[in-house]
Amino acid sequence: PELIQDGVTGRLIPKEDSKALARAVEEVLADPSTGRALGQAARKMVEQEYSVERWIDQLESLYERLARRAARFY
């Protein structure tokens, strides 16, 4: 998944667009609950997508696939 989802886990700002960056910062400063919500959603996404358990599962799956491929050659 995308690391930052605009308006969900953060704000995406066009590169070199200082006015858009300023507007995004002003929005969060004007409504701190927005910043908290973005931060909480981002943390939840990172905990789900990048947990140690998930990486272990993916690594085990990779090893199993590689072992099956190698077994075909012996």
CA gap 66, 44 in Å, rounded: 32
pLDDT in tens, 7-18: 999 999 999 999
Q: What is the pLDDT of residue 49?
A: 87
Q: What is the pLDDT of residue 9?
A: 96
Q: What's 13's DSSP letter?
A: -
pLDDT band at 72 (very low <50, low <70, confident <90, very high): confident
Joined tokens for residue 14: 């066009």
Note the pTM of the prediction, 2 decimals. Answer: 0.67
Q: Domain coordinates of the chain in residue numbers?
A: 18-72
Q: Please tell me the number of Cα atoms within 13 Å of 53 on its side-chain side.
A: 3
Residue 28: enclosing H or E segment and its boundaries?
helix 18-30
Strand partners, 6: 10
| Averaged pLDDT for residues 25-43 | 96
Indicate the average pLDDT of the chain: 93
